[in-house]
Amino acid sequence: MATADPTALDRWLDGHQRELLRELTSWLRIPSVSADPAHADDVRRSAEFLAAAARAAGFPRAEVWETGGHPAVFAERLEDPALSTVLVYAHHDVQPADPLEEWTTPPFDPVVADGELRARGAADDKQNALMHLEAVRAHLAVEGRLPLNLKLLVEGEEESGSPHFDTLLRDHRSELAADVAVISDTGMLGPEAPALTIGLRGMVYWEVRVAGPVRDLHSGLYGGAVANPVVGLAELLAGLHDADRRVAVPGFYDRVREPGPAERRALAAVPFDTEAFLSDAGVPAPAGEAGWTTYERRTVRPTLDICGIWGGYTGAGAKTIIPARCGAKLSARLVPDQDPGAIAELVRRHLLDRAPVGLTTEVDVLSTGRWVSAATDHPAVQAASRAVAQVWGRPPSLVREGGSIPPVASIADQLQVACVLFGVGLPDDRFHAPNERLRLEQLHRGVRATVRLWNELGAIPPGALRPTRAAEAVAGP
């Protein structure tokens, strides 16, 4: 079919920016925090809001899909069996807003100021989800139809580990069938530094608990005579890294696919602003594994971090005790070719084997997710590159990101499709942190790029989009 006129589409989009902002702010007022059971009704309200918005945008079918936990949203518009079918993935749940005292404005009362929209979920991920609906509206308003068949799957549990996502895919595999998937939960390097993500790290998350006496003990009567759980935990955690900040768990690096000289040169050519990265984080200097750049450390190197620690008395003043129990949360980010299941057990066994004497140590694996890596020469990746270049005026950098999106590997594996990682968030949008925001110009550019992406993908025959070799799909161990 003929390609839609991007200039006419842009004119329509420019004339409807207020409506887009109004819809997004209404959605952001729903505190769809999937990790907190108290917000279960809010996550459902968010799903119902999105399903209604999809129907209004022009999807004849848009419905809430139940899972074993929070609901997802599915929508589809099938124009012509001869056209390519694209499945878009995003998520409508958000991170908790804590700590509330660090927000300059209420997290679920969206505020527009200085060209920014500030609210929890603004950038991660409601911005990316809604720009697809706006692209559909534009195509239908200007052309009367889409240049492809479009399916939308928006999850409600991504921020809490996607525990029911694999089952959701299995239960609805036939309805989700597509030629290619577009994953919209990623970002770019900067407002004038467009990028497409071609790799994500995997993840494992553990909880460690250390217990000692049956109750808190008087540190004067018992100190020095019984094992202190907090001291034992601190020693255990301190041994997880060596002096070069390498993970000190034997076997942790055994399957790491080390980047060769050519890949390291390509990584060095990525326009990553280290100073801006450190400034945004509020730290004076970089840190991490010796021998690697800041960008390499956050993209192609594995990590093991302490995400939280608790135990004993932390209130005002003094309370002289030997705590009865304490604990910590740990996470690892994994790279090709590390196996999340193997690493989960490796670290768990390492902690238990070195458990402090005189104390009881327990380690639970809370979640795992695979690393992913996409082929840069796949037609859909090339189509996305062209779409971004048409809007930003330059080709996007092909980058690896340090975060993890476990559903990507599930979609590639279960649906047997290649995945394009296409999102417009920025590094300083404060994902998962207080004062999350999106830049409105970034959103508007993202919508323009999306309408062009549908043009580009719609011009490719379905058979050319389907993977012909494993490397064309997002891959994992």
Q: Do the domain assignments include residue 260?
A: no
Structural domain span for residue 208? 202-255+302-368
Q: Are residues 212 and 105 in the same domain?
A: no
Are 327 and 209 within 8 A, CB to CB? yes
Q: Do the domain assignments include residue 141?
A: yes
Cα distance between residue 103 and residue 107, in whole Å: 7
Structure-block tokens of residue 350 = 């390492």
Q: Do the domain assignments include residue 218?
A: yes
Q: What is the pLDDT of residues 2-39, one digit of tens each?
A: 567 889 999 999 999 999 999 999 999 999 999 999 99
Residue (of 83, 75, 207) closest to 152 by Cα position: 75
Give a three-class secondary structure readout of the chain: CCCCCHHHHHHHHHCCHHHHHHHHHHHHCCCCECCCHHHHHHHHHHHHHHHHHHHHHCCCEEEEECCCCCCEEEEEECCCCCCCEEEEEEECCECCCCCHHHCCCCCCCCEEECCEEECCCHHHHHHHHHHHHHHHHHHHHHHCCCCCEEEEEEECCHHHCCCCHHHHHHHCCCCCCCCEEEECCCECCECCECEEEEEECEEEEEEEEEECCCCCEEHHHHCCCCCCHHHHHHHHHHCCECCCCCECCCCCCCCCCCCCHHHHHHHHHCCCCHHHHHHHHCCCCCCCCCCCCHHHHCCCCCEEEEEEEEECCCCCCCCCEECCEEEEEEEEEECCCCCHHHHHHHHHHHHHHCCCCCCEEEEEEEEEECCEECCCCCHHHHHHHHHHHHHHCCCCEEEEECCCCHHHHHHHHHHCCEEEECCCECCCCCCCCCCCEEEHHHHHHHHHHHHHHHHHHHCCCHHHHCCCCHHHCCCCC
Q: What is the pLDDT of residues 41-80, one digit of tens each?
A: 999 999 999 999 999 999 999 999 999 999 999 999 999 9
Which residues partner with 76 through β-bridges? Answer: 61, 151
Q: How confident is the model at residue 466 (pLDDT cuts 50, 70, 90)?
A: confident
Q: Do the domain assignments include residue 285?
A: no
Q: What is the pLDDT of residues 438-452, one digit of tens each?
A: 999 999 999 999 999
Give the model's pLDDT for residue 443: 97
Give the model's pLDDT for residue 1: 54
Q: What is the pLDDT of residues 134-158, one digit of tens each?
A: 999 999 999 999 999 999 999 999 9
Q: Do the domain assignments include residue 269?
A: no
Q: How confident is the model at residue 477 (pLDDT cuts 50, 70, 90)?
A: very low
Q: Are residues 355 and 223 in the same domain?
A: yes
Q: Are residues 359 and 465 in the same domain?
A: no
Q: Are residues 311 and 391 in the same domain?
A: no
Q: Are residues 310 and 418 in the same domain?
A: no
Measured in residues, the chain has a length of 477
Are 245 and 287 within 8 A, CB to CB? yes
- Residue 472 above 90 pLDDT? no
Q: What is the pLDDT of residues 184-238, one digit of tens each?
A: 999 999 999 999 999 999 999 999 999 999 999 999 999 999 999 999 999 999 9
In this prediction the pTM is: 0.84
Q: Are residues 190 and 334 in the same domain?
A: no
Instruction: Give the mean pLDDT of 287-302.
Output: 96
Give the model's pLDDT for residue 3: 66
Q: Are residues 343 and 394 in the same domain?
A: no
Cα distance between residue 31 and residue 156, in whole Å: 12
Structurally, the chain folds into a number of domains equal to: 2
CATH number of the domain encompassing residue 320: 3.30.70.360
Q: What is the pLDDT of residues 317-365, one digit of tens each?
A: 999 999 999 999 999 999 999 999 999 999 999 999 999 999 999 999 9
Give the model's pLDDT for residue 79: 97
Last residue of a domain, one of 368, 384, 407: 368
Residue (of 352, 309, 307, 351) closest to 330 by Cα position: 307
Q: Are residues 242 and 127 in the same domain?
A: no
- Residue 471 above 50 pLDDT? no
Instruction: Give the mean pLDDT of 363-375.
Output: 90
Give the model's pLDDT for residue 406: 84
Structure-block tokens of residue 118 = 């500030």
Q: Are residues 398 and 326 in the same domain?
A: no
CATH number of the domain encompassing residue 405: 3.40.630.10
Q: Are residues 363 and 389 in the same domain?
A: no
Q: Are residues 80 and 122 in the same domain?
A: yes
Give the model's pLDDT for residue 5: 82
Last residue of a domain, one of 344, 368, 392: 368
Q: Are residues 353 and 465 in the same domain?
A: no
Q: What is the pLDDT of residues 401-414, one digit of tens each?
A: 898 888 998 999 89
Q: How confident is the model at residue 374 (pLDDT cuts 50, 70, 90)?
A: confident
Q: Do the domain assignments include residue 291?
A: no
Q: Do the domain assignments include residue 454?
A: yes
Last residue of a domain, one of 326, 349, 368: 368
Q: Do the domain assignments include residue 296?
A: no
Q: What is the pLDDT of residues 233-286, one digit of tens each?
A: 999 999 999 999 999 999 999 999 999 999 899 899 999 999 999 998 899 999
